[in-house]
C-alpha cells in the first residue's frame, strides 16, 4: 500500500510508534537527531547505501522471487526514466550516499544501462557502483559496463546442478551463469559475490559443494536465508537458518572468521587454503537491523526504507508533479524518519502483505 503523497511545502513530521522499539534492541529513538539530517533516522542510523531497481522484468522465473502465476507488469511509462534515476541518485549522493547498487528484475534487460552507469560514475562522492545480476547477459555487456564505471558485481547462483537450475528458475542457463562468473573474475571483479538462496529439501545438500567451489575461485559465496514475499510460497519448513548452514559446513571444514563490516549483511568465514570465502546472511533468524544503512528505490519510483516494510513513498509522483530538490529531500527525510528499529520477525512478515521480490529489486 502506498503512503499518500504529503504536502511538499510543509515541514515533515517524523514520528515512530514506540511499540516498534524493543527494549532490548539497543537503539534509542531521537526525533531531534532525525529531523536534522536527511539520511539519518531517529535511531542514529546513517544511510549511505542506495539500491535502485532499473526494471521489473527478468529472463528467469526464480520460484523464491516471482509468483508462479506470473505478474501484471507496471506499464513502461510508469517506470522511472533515465533522467529521473540520475536526478534522484544525484540528490542521495549529495546527502552522503557513497554506494549505489543497480538491481531488477534483471538490470541487464534495461536498455542503455551502460549510459546510466556512466552518468552515475560522474557523481562526485559516489565511491561504488554495484550491480546484482543473474549473469545470463553479462558476457555481452561486461566490457562496456566496466568501461562505464561499474565497480562491483553480485551474481545470483542457487545451485551448481543443471537440472535443479532449470527447476528453480524455470529456464535453462547454468552454463551461461558459470561462464559469466569466470568472465567477471577475468575482468578483475574481486571480491566477486555469488548470492545463493538456500531452500530446505531443494539445494541445502549443496552447501558443501559450494564450500569446495571456493577452493580455486576468489569468490564470496553468500548463503541467504529464504525470505517471505508475496507469491513465493514461503514456509518456515523450507527455511534453513544461517546457524544450521554454518554448522553443517563446519562438520567437514574449519572456518576462520573474517573481519566484520558493521553495516554488512553477511558474517564472513574462510576455509584455510581456499582462495574464496563464505558469507551467511541471516535476515530471518538473526536480523541485522541495528546496522542497516540501506534504502531502496523500486523501478516504479517508490522509496522503501525497509525491504520488509509495507510503507512506500512515490518519488516518481513527486518528480512528475514538479517537486524541487528541496521538496524531494523533505519527502525522503520524512520517510526515513518513520523507519522502525527493526522488522517484525519472520512469522509476522510471512503474514503481511508486501510486494513480490521481483518488483522490489533484488
Contact 300, 80 (CB under 8 A): yes
| Residue 58 annotated as binding site | yes
Cα separation, 88 vs 78, in Å, equals: 16
Residue spans of the domains in the chain: they are 18-360
Residue 347 scores a pLDDT above 70: no
Q: Which residue has the higher pLDDT, 63 or 137?
A: 137
Cα separation, 27 vs 361, in Å, equals: 27
* CATH class name, domain 18-360: alpha beta
What mean pLDDT value characterizes the chain? Answer: 86
3-class DSSP state for residue 109? Answer: helix
| Residue 357 annotated as binding site | no
pLDDT tens digits, residue range 129-188?
A: 999 999 999 999 999 999 999 999 999 999 999 999 999 898 899 999 999 999 999 999
Highest mean pLDDT among 34-38, 283-287, 295-299, 308-312: 295-299
Q: What Å distances lie between residue 224 and 47, 59, 246, 280, CA to CA?
A: 22, 21, 12, 6
**In the predicted model, what is the mean pLDDT of residues 243-265?**
93
Contact 135, 174 (CB under 8 A): no
| Residue 362 annotated as binding site | no
The residue among 189, 163, 191 whose CA lies nearest residue 275 is 191
| Residue 170 annotated as binding site | no
| Residue 353 annotated as binding site | no
pLDDT tens digits, residue range 15-51?
A: 444 344 343 345 676 666 655 689 999 999 999 999 9
Cα separation, 152 vs 100, in Å, equals: 10
| Residue 105 annotated as binding site | yes
pLDDT band for position 311 (cuts 50, 70, 90): confident
| Residue 245 annotated as binding site | no
Phi, psi of 271 (to 5 degrees): -80, 120
| Residue 196 annotated as binding site | no
Q: What is the pLDDT at residue 31?
A: 67
Q: What is the pLDDT at residue 162?
A: 95
Amino acid at each position: 500500500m502506498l503512503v499518500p503523497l504529503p504536502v511538499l511545502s510543509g515541514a515533515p513530521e517524523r514520528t515512530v510508534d514506540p511499540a516498534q522499539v524493543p527494549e532490548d534492541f539497543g537503539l534509542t529513538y531521537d526525533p531531534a537527531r532525525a529531523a536534522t539530517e536527511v539520511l539519518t533516522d531517529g535511531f542514529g542510523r546513517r544511510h549511505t547505501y542506495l539500491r535502485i531497481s532499473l526494471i521489473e522484468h527478468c529472463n528467469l522465473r526464480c520460484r523464491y522471487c516471482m509468483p508462479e502465476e506470473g505478474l501484471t507488469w507496471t506499464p513502461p511509462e510508469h517506470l522511472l526514466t533515465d533522467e529521473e534515476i540520475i536526478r534522484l541518485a544525484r540528490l542521495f549522493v549529495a546527502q552522503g550516499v557513497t554506494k549505489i547498487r543497480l538491481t531488477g528484475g534483471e538490470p541487464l534487460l534495461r536498455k542503455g544501462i551502460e549510459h546510466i552507469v556512466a552518468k552515475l560514475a560522474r557523481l562526485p562522492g559516489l565511491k561504488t557502483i554495484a550491480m546484482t545480476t543473474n549473469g545470463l547477459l553479462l558476457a555481452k555487456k561486461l566490457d562496456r559496463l566496466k568501461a562505464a564505471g561499474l565497480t562491483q558485481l553480485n551474481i545470483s547462483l542457487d545451485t551448481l546442478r543443471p537440472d535443479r537450475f532449470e527447476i528453480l528458475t524455470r529456464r535453462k542457463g547454468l552454463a551461461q551463469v558459470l561462464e559469466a562468473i569466470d568472465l567477471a573474475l577475468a575482468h578483475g571483479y574481486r571480491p566477486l559475490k555469488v548470492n545463493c538462496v538456500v531452500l530446505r529439501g531443494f539445494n541445502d545438500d549443496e552447501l558443501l559443494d559450494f564450500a569446495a567451489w571456493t577452493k580455486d575461485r576468489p569468490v564470496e559465496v553468500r548463503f541467504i536465508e529464504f525470505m517471505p514475499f508475496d507469491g513465493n510460497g514461503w514456509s518456515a519448513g523450507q527455511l534453513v537458518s544461517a546457524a544450521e548452514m554454518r554448522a553443517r559446513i563446519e562438520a567437514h571444514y574449519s572456518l576462520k572468521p573474517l573481519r566484520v563490516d558493521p553495516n554488512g549483511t553477511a558474517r564472513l568465514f574462510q576455509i584455510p587454503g581456499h582462495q574464496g570465502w563464505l558469507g551467511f546472511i541471516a535476515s530471518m533468524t538473526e536480523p541485522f537491523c541495528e546496522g542497516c544503512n540501506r534504502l531502496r528505490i523500486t523501478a516504479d519510483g517508490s522509496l522503501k526504507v525497509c525491504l520488509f516494510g509495507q510503507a512506500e513513498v512515490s518519488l516518481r509522483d513527486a518528480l512528475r508533479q514538479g517537486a524541487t530538490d528541496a521538496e524531494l529531500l523533505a519527502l525522503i527525510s520524512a520517510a526515513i524518519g518513520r523507519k522502525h528499529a527493526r522488522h517484525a520477525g519472520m512469522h509476522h512478515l510471512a503474514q503481511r502483505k508486501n510486494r513480490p521480490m521481483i518488483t522490489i529489486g533484488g
